[in-house]
Structure formats: C-alpha cells, structure tokens
C-alpha cells in the first residue's frame, strides 16, 4: 500500500546558465532568460525586492481581471520570434507569449531531474506526458525511452516538434499527439496500456481540440483515476503539478492516496519553488503531489 508522507516537501529549483530568478518582491519577479531579462507578475512575492533598480528588457503588465489577460511592454529590443535556450542537452526556443510566460516553465527543472533519477537504471522506459506544452519535459524523459506527448494545442505541439529539431533530438522515440488529455487517458485504459512513468500539468481551466471543457476541481479525480490504471507495481512514478488554484497540496496527495492504495511506494506533496540567484530566497510557484516506487 502506498504510504502518504504528510509532511510537505519543498522542491527548489536552482538557476542555470540560461535561466535564473534575479530578484522578487512587491508582487513581481525579475528573471533572466539567456541574454534577456524580464519582469512578470508574481502575487506570492509579498516581500521587499533586494535590488533597488530592475534593469529589464520588458515587463508583462497584467489585465484588470484575475483570470488573465495583459500585455508586454518592451524597453529594449527583444526577438519577437524567440531565441534559443538550453537545459542540459535539451535546446528549445524562449518567446514572450500573450499568456505572460516565455514558452516553458523553468520551475519544472527539478521535476525533470527527479524523473530522470527515477528512471536512471532504464533505457527503455515507456512514459506519458499529459498537457505536455512545448515539450521540454518530454525531451528530458526521452533520454530513457519512448515518450507519448499529449497536448490539446496544435500550436504547442508544433513548437514541441521544433524544439526537438533545435536540440537535434528529432530522432528520439516520441509520439507527438494533439488530443484531449482526459479522453486520451481513458482510451489508453480501454486499450490495456501501461506506462513506467506519467507526468501531468493540468490547467485550472482549458478546452480540448474539439471544444471539450476542462475544469480542474471537477475533472482531475477522473483523470487521475485513469492514470492510476495505466501504472502497475513495476512502474516508477507519477508527478502532478497544479498552478494558480486555491487548493492545498495535501488535497492532491489525499486524492492520490485513495487511488494508489493498492500500489507499493510513497506519496509526497508540497510546493514547487525557485531559488533567487544571489540571496537564495525561495519563491513558491505551484503545488505538487507525486507517487514514487523505489522497489
């Protein structure tokens, strides 16, 4: 029976050559993306910034509503079509998107490291990335075997393929699928499929390629139940991240404990965070729950 660790875990991401959290505070954060610096909103940065002046190439100014919107304001030239970055051997394109992010989620770097550690002894692991976005996590997993990458956005999957080509990894065994993640998982259960590991990063709200509606609180339990059916006692992990919700990581872990009770291993939960380059202050970004099987 999977054991639930009730004490939360803080999974802290460190900066690397092409990314770092320079400073944060007063509801904003200053980050470096290669040669460019940007300011973005960050409601959880309630403290005072360390630096008096933030020299940035651009800033995302949010709209007046809570659910999104806003625009980029640029003080210096920035390549509108993007510029190349890299995490380990995975190269990809960063770009200022209308959704305030830059084409990947840097706070996921410790998750990519952790998944690789869980698969360290395998070169033929069969893994699944649901809501895979632009494919950086998929390409990280592909070092250990075949990956099925699923996202409802044709544009995101297209960018993921371009990132694979940019990294010289287009020959890796990846299935790039434009599909509704929940429907795909349900079909895989009916087909009797199994995976060695699953990562899923569902949005608070979204739509599938044919208009399907996704609401996290309503649809996550069913999706996670299907993911459980795609794993067995030989599988290695499931990692779930959730952003921008009024929810505790313990709630995610409690759901996972109920669904994974017949599997061995451990269930953990907590916060994803990024550590500032200089002072080491931790900025929380998301909550997570994960199941790992070290047996």
CA–CA distance, 270 with 249 (Å, rounded to integer): 5
Tokens of 27: 């509801």
Looking at residue 65, its pLDDT comes to 61
Q: What does the pLDDT read at residue 67?
A: 57
| Superfamily of structural domain 3-15+100-292 | Vaccinia Virus protein VP39 (3.40.50.150)
β partners of residue 174: 147
As a whole number of angstroms, the distance between CA 201 and CA 65 comes to: 23
Nearest to 91 by CA among 170, 38, 144, 12: 170
pLDDT of residue 208: 80
pLDDT the model gives residue 77: 97
Q: Which two tokens stand for residue 149?
A: 């990458």
In the chain, which stretches have pLDDT less than 70? 65-68
* Per-residue model confidence (pLDDT) at position 212: 79
- The b-or-e profile of 176-189 (16+ CB within 10 A means b, else e) is bbbbbbbbbbbebb
- Pinpoint the alpha helices (H) of the chain: 109-118, 136-141, 154-166, 181-191, 216-229, 249-259
Backbone angles phi, psi at 185, to 5 degrees: -60, -40
């Amino acid at each position: 029976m999977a054991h639930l660790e009730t004490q939360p875990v803080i999974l802290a991401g460190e900066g690397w050559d092409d990314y770092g959290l320079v400073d944060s505070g007063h509801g904003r954060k200053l980050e470096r993306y290669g040669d460019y610096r940007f300011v973005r909103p960050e409601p959880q940065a309630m403290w005072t910034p360390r630096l008096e002046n933030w020299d940035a190439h651009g800033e995302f100014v949010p709209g007046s509503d809570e659910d999104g919107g806003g625009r980029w304001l640029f003080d210096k030239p920035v390549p509108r079509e993007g510029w190349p970055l890299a995490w380990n051997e995975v190269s990809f394109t960063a770009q200022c998107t209308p959704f305030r992010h830059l084409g990947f989620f840097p706070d996921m770097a410790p998750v990519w490291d952790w998944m690789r550690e869980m698969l360290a002894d395998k070169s033929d692991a069969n893994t699944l990335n649901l809501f895979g976005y632009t494919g950086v996590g998929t390409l990280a997993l592909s070092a250990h075997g075949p990956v099925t990458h699923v996202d409802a956005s044709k544009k995101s999957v297209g960018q993921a393929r371009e990132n694979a080509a940019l990294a010289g990894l287009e020959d890796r065994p990846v299935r790039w699928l434009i599909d509704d993640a929940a429907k795909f998982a349900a079909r895989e259960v009916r087909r009797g499929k199994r995976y060695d590991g699953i990562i899923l990063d569902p949005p608070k709200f979204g739509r599938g390629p044919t208009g399907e509606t996704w609401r996290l609180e309503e649809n996550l339990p069913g999706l996670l139940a299907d993911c459980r059916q795609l794993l067995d006692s030989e599988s290695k992990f499931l990692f779930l991240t959730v952003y921008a919700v009024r929810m505790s990581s313990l709630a995610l872990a409690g759901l996972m404990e109920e669904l994974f009770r017949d599997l061995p291993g451990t269930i953990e939960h907590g916060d994803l965070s990024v550590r500032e380059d200089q002072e080491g202050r931790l900025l929380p970004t998301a909550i997570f729950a994960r199941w790992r099987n070290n047996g």
